[in-house]
């Protein structure tokens, strides 16, 4: 396959550059779609790429040059011929993201969750640039029955069939992308997507790197395999931290009506099964609802007994006052009724006297 797609104004446009550009566009589009899930606007990814792309490209090239031992000089800028490392791009992009978060006052973990699905999608597409450049291939395939794509790829400058490791990783990256998108959109735990990327991609890259023939070496160690192992360990640790943080039950201290905790000792913490406002003690509801946490004292202290006795006494006083008030209202109503009846009897008596006085003249 010719690595040059076409020539424009005397400039050769390589398939590698076109494919990388397509990967960037797809990554931005996915980030715009996912942005609201982590509190970002759909415009933020367009600004973010300006912070991430330059350091990512520089570090990707430097990573390759350092562990490959060159080429140096003007050839070190010829990235269109290949020779960039994804782990270098991840390191550079992380530095750009940290700077972006500091300047724009954003949460780095939330930003990382947003970026990871887009990053792995860009990697899946970008691997086809390796196919165009005839690089990132695996072991030699000598069995004619296995000399077919996608298991193997024909390397023209060698005249040999090799394992298509670029294709293996591209498919695995697409699967990881789907998993990360599901995590991002359905699990609202900050950091879970980042942990998923570190674990899943680290595992995939560790095994596929073992098949490649053009690995960057550090002595007898494959650099990318070593880094993949470290990423997996870091991802597992971060995943455990994220899960524990988001599944830990909240603990509350029940407060009395005065706002003071019923137990002043540090160990006497009451864990409520309801929300804090419902657990507060008021004059109308003096009993604390909830259960004592493990480790708290099962025997109430004398001070707590005294406080409880005072609360009970106060409640009894309130109930007694309510009863007295009810009796007084009843007496008042009875008195008012008796007075009204007496007034009616007096009026009837006066009417009878007037009637008798009026009948006396008629008898005379």
* Average pLDDT, rounded, for the chain: 80
Q: Does the pLDDT value for residue 267 go beyond 50?
A: no
C-alpha angle with apex 16: 15 to 22, nearest 5 degrees?
A: 85
- SS3 for 323? helix
Number of domains comprising the chain: 2
Which of 200, 215, 247 finishes a domain?
247
> Is there a single domain that holds both residue 205 and residue 301?
no
Residue 192 or residue 348, greater confidence: 192
Which is it for strands 11-14 and 160-163: parallel, antiparallel or unpaired? unpaired
Per-residue pLDDT band at 306 (split at 50, 70, 90)? low
Q: What pLDDT is stored for residue 268 in this prediction?
A: 45
> Is there a single domain that holds both residue 326 and residue 213?
no
List, in sequence order, every beta strand (DSSP E) within 186-322: 217-218, 221-222, 270-271, 291-292
- Domain assignment of residue 255, yes or no: no
User: What single DSSP character describes residue 4?
Assistant: E
Q: No. of H helices and E strands in the chain? A: 9, 8
Residue 87 or residue 293, greater confidence: 87
Quick one: average pLDDT of 230-257? 82
> Is there a single domain that holds both residue 121 and residue 240?
yes
Per-residue pLDDT band at 269 (split at 50, 70, 90)? very low
- Domain assignment of residue 276, yes or no: yes
> Is there a single domain that holds both residue 225 and residue 288?
no
Rounded to 5 degrees, φ, ψ at 212 are -75, 150
Q: What is the pLDDT of residues 39-83, one digit of tens each?
A: 999 999 999 999 999 999 999 999 999 988 888 888 888 887 778
> Is there a single domain that holds both residue 206 and residue 298?
no
Question: What is the pTM for the complete model shown?
Answer: 0.68
Which of 212, 247, 282 finishes a domain?
247
Alpha-carbon gap, residue 347 to 144, rounded angstroms: 129
- Domain assignment of residue 254, yes or no: no
Alpha-carbon gap, residue 165 to 317, rounded angstroms: 83
Q: What pLDDT is stored for residue 327 in this prediction?
A: 59
Q: Does the pLDDT value for residue 147 go beyond 90?
A: yes
Which of 247, 278, 308 finishes a domain?
247
Q: What pLDDT is stored for residue 339 in this prediction?
A: 55
Structure tokens at 197: 């990327």
Q: What pLDDT is stored for residue 69 in this prediction?
A: 86
> Is there a single domain that holds both residue 243 and residue 276?
no
Q: Does the pLDDT value for residue 289 go beyond 50?
A: no
Rounded to 5 degrees, φ, ψ at 174 are -65, -40
> Is there a single domain that holds both residue 172 and residue 276?
no
Identify the domain containing residue 352 by its residue range.
270-363
Q: What pLDDT is stored for residue 1 in this prediction?
A: 74
Alpha-carbon gap, residue 305 to 290, rounded angstroms: 18
CB 53 within 8 A of CB 28: no
User: What single DSSP character describes residue 140?
Assistant: B
- SS3 for 264? coil
- SS3 for 301? coil
Structure tokens at 39: 């509190």
Structure tokens at 303: 């001070």
- SS3 for 161? strand
- Domain assignment of residue 126, yes or no: yes
Cα–Cα distance list, 240 to 48, 114, 237, 245, 251 (Å): 29, 20, 5, 8, 20
Quick one: average pLDDT of 127-152? 94
Q: Does the pLDDT value for residue 192 go beyond 90?
A: yes
Residues 6+ apart with CB under 8 A from 185: 34, 37
- Domain assignment of residue 265, yes or no: no
> Is there a single domain that holds both residue 353 and residue 320?
yes
Per-residue pLDDT band at 259 (split at 50, 70, 90)? low
> Is there a single domain that holds both residue 82 and residue 193?
yes
- Domain assignment of residue 260, yes or no: no
Q: Does the pLDDT value for residue 208 go beyond 90?
A: yes
- Domain assignment of residue 325, yes or no: yes
> Is there a single domain that holds both residue 86 and residue 118?
yes
Structure tokens at 223: 């650099």
137: alpha, beta or left? (left if phi > 0; alpha if psi -120 to 50): beta
> Is there a single domain that holds both residue 56 and residue 177?
yes
Q: What pLDDT is stored for residue 80 in this prediction?
A: 72
Rg, C-alpha atoms of the chain:
41
> Is there a single domain that holds both residue 117 and residue 162?
yes
Quick one: average pLDDT of 308-320? 56
Q: Is the peptide bond before 160 cis (omega within 30 degrees of 0)?
A: no
- Domain assignment of residue 342, yes or no: yes
């Amino acid at each position: 396959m010719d690595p040059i797609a076409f020539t424009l104004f005397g400039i050769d446009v390589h398939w590698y550059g076109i494919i990388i550009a397509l990967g960037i566009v797809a990554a931005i589009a996915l980030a715009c779609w996912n942005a609201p899930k982590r509190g970002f606007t759909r415009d933020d990814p367009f600004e973010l790429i300006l912070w991430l792309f330059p350091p990512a490209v520089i570090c990707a090239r430097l990573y390759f040059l350092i562990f490959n031992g060159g080429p140096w000089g003007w050839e070190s800028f010829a990235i269109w011929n290949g020779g960039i490392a994804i782990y270098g791009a991840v390191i550079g992009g992380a530095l750009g993201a940290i700077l972006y978060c500091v300047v724009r006052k954003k949460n780095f973990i939330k930003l990382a969750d947003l970026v990871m699905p887009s990053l792995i999608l860009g990697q899946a597409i970008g691997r086809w640039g390796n196919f165009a450049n005839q690089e990132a291939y695996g072991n030699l395939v000598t069995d004619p029955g296995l000399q077919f794509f996608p298991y193997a790829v024909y390397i023209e400058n060698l005249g040999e069939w090799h394992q298509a490791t670029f294709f293996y990783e591209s498919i695995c990256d697409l699967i990881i992308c789907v998993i990360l998108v599901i995590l991002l959109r359905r699990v609202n735990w900050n950091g879970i997507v980042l942990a998923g990327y570190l674990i899943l991609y680290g595992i995939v890259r560790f095994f596929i790197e073992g098949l490649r023939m053009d690995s960057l070496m550090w002595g007898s160690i494959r650099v990318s395999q070593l880094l993949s192992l470290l990423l997996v360990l870091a991802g597992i640790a971060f995943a455990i931290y994220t899960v524990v943080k988001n599944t830990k039950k909240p603990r509350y201290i029940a407060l009395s009506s005065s706002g003071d905790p019923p137990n002043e000792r540090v160990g006497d913490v009451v864990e409520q099964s309801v929300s804090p406002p419902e657990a507060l003690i008021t004059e109308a509801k003096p009993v604390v609802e909830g259960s004592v946490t493990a480790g708290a004292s099962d025997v109430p202290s004398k001070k707590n007994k005294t406080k409880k006795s005072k609360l009970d006494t106060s409640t009894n006083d309130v109930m007694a006052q309510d009863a007295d008030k009810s009796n007084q209202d009843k007496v008042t109503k009875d008195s008012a009724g008796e007075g009204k009846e007496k007034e009616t009897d007096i009026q009837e008596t006066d009417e009878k006297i007037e009637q008798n006085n009026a009948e006396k003249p008629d008898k005379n």
